[in-house]
A and B are shown apart, each in its own frame.
Chain A
Amino acid sequence: MKKNKGKLERNKYGYIFIAPFFLVYLLFQLYPLILTFYYSVNEYYFRNNKLKDGGYIGLQNFKKVLGIGSDGGILDSNFVLYLKNTGIIWLGNFIPQLIFSLLVAAWLTNNKAKLKAGGIYKILVYLPNIITAASIATLFRAMFSKLGPMTTLLRNMHIISEDFDFMSSAAGSRGLISFILFWMWYGNTSLLLISGMLGINESLYEAADIDGANGRQKFFRITLPLLRPILVYVLITSAIGGLQMYDIPALFNNTGNSYVGGPDDKTTTMTMYIMRLFSTSRDYGRAAAVSVLLFIITIIISIIFLFTVGNTGNADEVKKKKKGGAK
């Protein structure tokens, strides 16, 4: 009886141990999130150094950032454009990223044609991921500016025309930002896929060999289906990360503190828009409205991916098969 009581009290330590995490989370993340929702339906901005707190205004802020019945100011009605910018830049990075990481992972896990330098390759493809994104964006800007060394090199090699300027071309700027993101992240994805591929039971490939399957068949019939859970994970984290993309586009377009992604706003992302509303125009209500929209889009995208690509039931089946195969 006494012993039982002691045990009960001991388990209360569980609450004590997890308390700091939950306290800090509630105070520093959940409460600010609720506050953001609150500000998004309030008129709340600074003008001429005076705070205007107009109280509850319904969905006015949302209407303004979405351009419904707006007054046509520079801050209005651009949400759709910034969503589009973000989407295009993300896709331009994700598609090549997926192709290259699948390739790298398949090559580095292939036992038949084992590459001796595999360890060094892994280290070097991952390298860009660890370097400060702000520094990388600034470096690429310096290299690819109008008179930058890479632009000059590409001109001399006649890959781009004499008067081409990455910074004044929408496709050029977006393409470069996508490239930087691709370059920084395909190593990370490769490592994730490598660990996934190493988890696939070798005997499945041996059985396929006996049945006379070739390399391509093995990749598409065994590797890809079994990688599905990891691919879904990569897709969701990349999409959510992509929606928040800030450092690289913001610093690639570093023109003072205006947060305008040149040329013509074509590389402004949604978090840059939040920053612009926040620090340039100091309209916290609208900045909060954009944040809320971003939150909703994040949730919708996660759900869509989970249900269409993820299909968790299927993933479980794959897992079971894997476990079955192991013995």
Chain B
Amino acid sequence: MNEKEKNYFAAIRREKLFKNIVMVILCLMSLFPFMLLVINATRSSDQIKRGISLIPGSSLATNWKNLQDKSKALDITMLKSMVNSLIVTVPATLLCVYFSTLTAYGIHVYNFKLKRFAWAFIMAILMVPTQISAIGFYQYMFKLRLTDTYWPLIIPAIAAPNTVFFMKQYMESVLSLSLVEAARIDGASEFRTFNTIVLPLMKPAIATQAIFVFVANWNNLFMPTLILNLPKLKTLPMFVQTLGSDQFRTDYGIVYVGLAAAILPIFVAYFFLSKFIVSGVTLGGVKE
């Protein structure tokens, strides 16, 4: 190896070292708030006020018990709010991925008069935010007597333009029309073909989208706040909102233990599904 090559490799090593250091700092920045959260959940309010510590305390059980005691007056507990969130999120996710796949399939496979219009329409509404129609939505739900029920948070999931878009993109790459044709020749009805042949083929896309739809619904705060008034119906993000309000802020131990309980399930699930999720992010949105 001559001098020039040596210099070249040394420069690359230095470059790598610098980049690695910056990346590690960024990664620590991602993790640090959560570390602090978990540690503070185990410390008493007084200890927390004294400052940062990397050593866990021994007040985890007390904090949790205090949280339960204080929640009693609210007509809602942390766990109940999690169950509520599941009641909304699971059906919304299932409806969303099923009907989005169905819609994408309808446009992809069949030739009908309004096909192009339907697709253009879906593309046009891709970016219209739901918050904008919130006031009309509330009034409408109120008149139908559906406020303080979960229906207004579940049913609209059937019409999710971005999920349809994703499903159609994926379908174009995996679904061959000859396969559909073969199923028809075997005498399968159109719905049967979709449910038994197409859905299994779409499994990878459905799984990825299900994760993202689940997370989006699970984290949603705006719509539930609008629709739900009764405390016992509150979803998890709404409970977190109560947690941050003045009645809890006197005891930091409670706030941290509640937040830790709210965040940790997603945190853990993320690391199990991270490969899926990280590759899914880029499949969904970008269209050149």
Contact = CB atoms under 8 A, between A and B. Distances in A.
A13 B191 CA distance: 9
Contact of A28 (B114, B156, B243): B156
A283 B136 CA distance: 13
A18 B106 contact: yes
A192 B281 contact: yes
Given A18-B118, A240-B129, A255-B246, A113 B12 contact: yes
Given A120-B27, A128-B30, A192-B285, A274 B241 contact: no
B240 A29 contact: no
Contact of A131 (B36, B111, B263): B263
A256 B245 CA distance: 6
Interface in B234-278: 236-238, 240-241, 243-246, 252, 255-256, 259, 262-263, 266-267, 270-271, 274-275, 277-278
Given A13-B110, A153-B51, A237-B285, A135 B259 contact: yes
Contacts of B125: 25, 29
Nearest to B245: A254
A291 interface: yes
Nearest to A26: B159
B281 A126 contact: yes
Interface string B97-122: 00110110111011110110010001
A149 B245 CA distance: 18
Interface stretch (A75-83, A85-93, A140-148): A140-148
A121 B49 contact: no
A194 B286 CA distance: 12
A119 B263 CA distance: 23
Contacts of B221: 133-134, 246-247, 250-251
B92 to A, nearest CB: 12
Interface in A1-28: 10-18, 20-22, 24-25, 28
B103 A17 contact: yes
A315 B288 CA distance: 8
Q: Choose among A18, A20, A191 the residue with the greatest number of B CB atoms under 10 Å from its CB.
A: A18
Interface residues of B, number: 96
Nearest to A7: B111
A33 B139 CA distance: 11
Nearest to A16: B106
Contact of A21 (B158, B215, B266): B158
Interface stretch (B18-26, B60-68, B171-179, B202-210): B18-26
A131 B106 contact: no
Q: Choose among A107, A142, A153, A237 the residue with the greatest number of B CB atoms under 10 Å from its CB.
A: A142
Nearest to A13: B190
Contact of B281 (A113, A183, A191, A251): A191
Nearest to B194: A17
B134 interface: yes
Contacts of A13: 106, 110, 190
Contacts of A279: 225
Contacts of B115: 14
Interface string A235-270: 011001101101100110011100000000000000
Contacts of B31: 124, 127
Contacts of B185: none
Contacts of A315: 288
Contact of B16 (A21, A25, A28, A115): A115
Contact of B267 (A131, A150, A229, A246): A131
Interface string B140-168: 10000000000010011011010010000
A181 interface: no
Interface string A201-243: 0000000000000000000000000000110010011001101
B130 interface: yes
A34 B136 contact: yes
A139 B131 contact: no
A16 B286 CA distance: 29
A62 interface: no
A54 to B, nearest CB: 15
B52 interface: yes
- Chain A to chain B: the 6 pairs with minimum beta-carbon distance, closest first: A17-B106, A35-B136, A14-B110, A195-B282, A36-B136, A32-B136
Interface of B: 12, 15-16, 19-20, 22-23, 26-27, 29-31, 33, 36-37, 40, 48-49, 51-52, 99-100, 102-103, 105-107, 109-112, 114-115, 118, 122, 125, 127-140, 152, 155-156, 158-159, 161, 164, 184, 190, 194, 215, 218-219, 221-222, 225-226, 236-238, 240-241, 243-246, 252, 255-256, 259, 262-263, 266-267, 270-271, 274-275, 277-278, 281-282, 285-288
5 contacts: A131-B219, A139-B33, A150-B52, A291-B131, A302-B127
